[in-house]
Amino acid sequence: MKRAKNYKKIEEATKKATDLKSYLQAVTVNNPYKFDQSIELKIAVKRSAKNTTPYKFSVTYPNSFGQSIKVLALADGEDAKKAKAAGADFVGLEDMIDKIMNENWMDFDIVIATPSVMPKIAKLGRILGTKGLMPNPKTGTVVTDIESAVNEFKAGKKNFKEDKSGVINTVVAKTSQGGEKAYENIKALVAAIKEASPNLWSDVVSIHIKTTMGPSIKVTTSELLA
């Protein structure tokens, strides 16, 4: 199979990798596929009766990638004007709430809100919550400075959350960006986790890195934190 052949090419290219940097260099230089693969980091953490809250954090990568983020800003008055001036794709409050609830409208990637409107949008929890889009202070989507928040997300800020199986799936770069830029993004990711969820590292079960169609290799916690 063609896929198996290309898979083996990546596998062969990464066999000589001795650390994270050399792995990133190998997969970015040797991409046998015609599409730009993503570089994915998967962090598995343990759950316990004393540790039931899923880990959440956000990061703005120094080297952005991917499609433009569609931002919905739920705000009114001056905050709505500031959000629109900052480049939010959709701005409003009652009209946006009605559109989501009555038209099943979900043409956005991030929802940002100000604290003052949270009581009004609470009804959206059952719709946005299931998709991980409900504004939350922990993910930087409930903010007093909505202008800065819109700017950050439009610049490529990304939110990550531990899933039900205890795995945090993160895309850190594209192979076309090269090994050095991918490494810089991983450093930014580690820094963001240290700031938002420093206890995560003591709960790590395993860390693996891979490309979209390539084999996975194990990364040690100490190597990421170095």
Is residue 182 assigned to a domain?
Answer: yes
Domain assignment present for 36: yes
Q: State the Cα–Cα distance between residues 119 and 166, nearest whole angstrom.
A: 31
What ranges in 15-166 are assigned the alpha helix state H? 20-29, 77-86, 94-103, 118-121, 125-128, 146-154
* Domain residue limits at 30: 17-64+158-225
CATH of the domain at 124: 3.40.50.790
* Residue ending a domain, choose from 129, 155, 181: 155
Closest CA to 189 of 209, 216, 205, 203: 209
Which residue pairs from 101-105 have beta carbons closer than 8 angstroms and sit at least 24 positions apart in sequence? 101/127
Q: Is residue 3 part of a domain?
A: no
**2 in any annotated domain:** no
109 and 128 together in one domain: yes
Please give the structure tokens belonging to residue 139.
């993910």
Does some domain include residue 9?
Answer: no
Candidates 217, 80, 224, 59; CA nearest to 147 is: 80
Answer yes or no: do 151 and 163 share one domain: no
> Which pTM was predicted?
0.71
Q: What is the pLDDT along the chain (226 residues), one digit of tens a residue?
A: 455 788 888 888 888 888 899 999 999 988 888 889 999 999 999 876 666 778 888 888 888 887 678 999 999 999 999 999 999 999 999 999 999 999 999 999 899 999 999 999 999 999 998 888 999 887 889 999 999 999 988 887 888 888 888 899 999 999 999 999 999 999 999 999 998 888 888 889 999 999 998 888 899 888 888 7
CATH number at 219 reads 3.30.190.20
Q: Do 120 and 165 fall within a single domain?
A: no
